[in-house]
Amino acid sequence: MSDTDIEKGVHESTSGSPLASGPVDERYEPRKAVNATSWSLGLKISHTAIPCFLAFLMWVLGDPGSMSCAPADQVIINRSTFSASVTAPATSMLMVEFNINRTEALLEQTLYMLGLSFGPLILAPLSEFIGRRWLYLVTSSSIIAFAGGSGAARNFATLLICRFLCGFLGSAGIAIGAGTIVDIWGVAKAGGLARLLFICGPFLGPAMGPLVGAYVMHEYNDDWRWTQWTVALIGAPIWILVLFMKETTDFRIERGANYSGRFGIVQLALSTLKAAVLRSMAMLTTEPIALSLTLYTGYAYAMVFSFFASATYVYSLDYAFNPRQIGLSSISVIIGYCLAAVMHMIFEMTLYARAVRQAPNGRPAPEHRLYTAMAGSIFLPIGLFWFVRYLPAGGQLKLSVSS
Mean pLDDT, residues 16-33 taken together: 41
Q: Which of 22-31, 54-63, 307-316, 368-377 has the lowest mean pLDDT?
A: 22-31
Mean pLDDT, residues 28-50 taken together: 75
**pLDDT (0 to 100) of residue 56:** 82
In one-letter notation, the amino acid at residue 37 is T
Share of the chain above pLDDT 90, in %: 8
Assign 3-class secondary structure to 58-118: HHHHCCCCCCCCCCCCCCCCCCCCHHHHCCHHHHHHHHHHHCCCHHHHHHHHHHHHHHHHH
pLDDT digits (tens, 9 = 90+) for 250-307: 766 665 666 666 666 677 777 777 777 788 788 888 888 888 888 887 787 777 767 7
Interatomic CA distance for residues 108 and 61, integer angstroms:
12
Confidence of residue 14 (pLDDT cuts 50, 70, 90): very low
Residue 118 pLDDT > 80, yes or no?
A: yes
Q: Count H helices, E strands: the chain?
A: 19, 0
**pLDDT (0 to 100) of residue 259:** 64
**pLDDT (0 to 100) of residue 307:** 72
Residue with more model confidence, 330 or 403? 330
Confidence of residue 60 (pLDDT cuts 50, 70, 90): low
pLDDT digits (tens, 9 = 90+) for 242-264: 999 988 887 666 656 666 666 66
pLDDT digits (tens, 9 = 90+) for 148-207: 999 899 999 999 999 999 989 988 878 888 888 888 887 666 667 788 888 777 777 777
Do the Cβ atoms of 133 and 112 come closer than 8 Å? Answer: no
Mean pLDDT, residues 203-220 taken together: 79
Nearest Cα to Cα of residue 213 among 200, 202, 223: 223
Interatomic CA distance for residues 218 and 223, integer angstroms:
8
Do the Cβ atoms of 111 and 167 come closer than 8 Å? Answer: yes
Q: For residue 251, give every residue at least 6 positions away whose Cβ sits within 8 Å of its Cβ, in sequence order, or none.
A: 13, 15, 128
First and final CA of the chain: distance in angstroms? Answer: 54
* Average pLDDT of the residues of the chain: 76
Interatomic CA distance for residues 238 and 46, integer angstroms:
10
**pLDDT (0 to 100) of residue 255:** 59
Q: Which H or E element spans position 245? A: none
CA atoms within 13 A of residue 356's CA, in its CB half-sphere: 11
State the Rg of the chain over Cα.
23
Q: Which of 9-13, 59-63, 254-258, 334-338 has the lowest mean pLDDT?
A: 9-13
Mean pLDDT, residues 86-94 taken together: 68
**pLDDT (0 to 100) of residue 395:** 58
**pLDDT (0 to 100) of residue 314:** 78
**pLDDT (0 to 100) of residue 392:** 60
Residue with more model confidence, 391 or 293? 293
Residue 216 pLDDT > 50, yes or no?
A: yes
